[in-house]
Chain A
Amino acid sequence: GAVVSQHPSWVICKSGTSVKIECRSLDFQATTMFWYRQFPKQSLMLMATSNEGSKATYEQGVEKDKFLINHASLTLSTLTVTSAHPEDSSFYICSARDPRASDTEAFFGQGTRLTVV
């Protein structure tokens, strides 16, 4: 199956700093990538849809100025958590659709565990 790589796997940062998370599709071109956040014992919550070459579409309640998304190429999307605070500590996961697969199957990155201290 298609491979999506996410980096870093985990990161610890100080409150007030910014953290960038990368999501790459390794063997296909992804015009659309998705960013999720998952708190402990909860399901995935879609944060935003990242579209190559255009602005991301954010879900209601997600601050676009805090969670900056850039999808500059067909294989790379980045999520930057700006001015991170302890409440931003969570598991962040990206996914992408492979146009060669079924219409909607999503392939996930490994996830990034963010801890803000």
Chain B
Amino acid sequence: GQNIDQPTEMTATEGAIVQINCTYQTSGFNGLFWYQQHAGEAPTFLSYNVLDGLEEKGRFSSFLSRSKGYSYLLLKELQMKDSASYLCAVSDSNYQLIWGAGTKLIIKP
């Protein structure tokens, strides 16, 4: 079956760095997405990886290893507004998005 695993909840301190991991097993692979979702709102796009390596975009970076079925989202210089759920999603062989359950990130002052 298809499966996306990510931690349920993480806590970090304002100004620090946090890494959110995602492992996946899917039928085919056409890219991995990270989305941010604040409570009561729809997800917003953060990053897309289809090749191995690190993609950096401001304070956020995303890494992918296809051979290991593994990705992480790295958030630097954490701000209180980064408190949200972070969803990992994989596009499978049919280009359908398979979603992880999301990681709730709590930022403390």
Contact = CB atoms under 8 A, between A and B. Distances in A.
B19 interface: no
Interface residues of A, number: 22
Contacts of B100: 43
A93 interface: yes
B43 interface: yes
A103 B101 contact: no
Contact of B43 (A42, A44, A49): A44
Contacts of B102: 43
A105 B97 CA distance: 9
A113 interface: yes
A104 B101 contact: no
Interface in B57-109: 87, 91, 95-97, 99-102
Given A102-B31, A103-B30, A104-B31, A42 B101 contact: yes
Contacts, number: 49
Please indicate which of the listed interface residues B33, B43, B91 has the most CB atoms of chain A within 10 Å of its own CB. Answer: B43
Given A42-B101, A43-B87, A103 B42 contact: no
B45 A1 contact: yes
A107 interface: yes
A110 B43 CA distance: 8
Interface of B: 30-31, 33, 40-45, 48, 87, 91, 95-97, 99-102
Interface of A: 1, 6, 34, 42-46, 49, 91, 93, 102-111, 113
8 contacts: A1-B45, A42-B101, A43-B100, A102-B31, A105-B45, A107-B45, A108-B42, A110-B41
Lowest 3 A-B CB distances belong to which pairs?
A108-B42, A104-B91, A111-B42
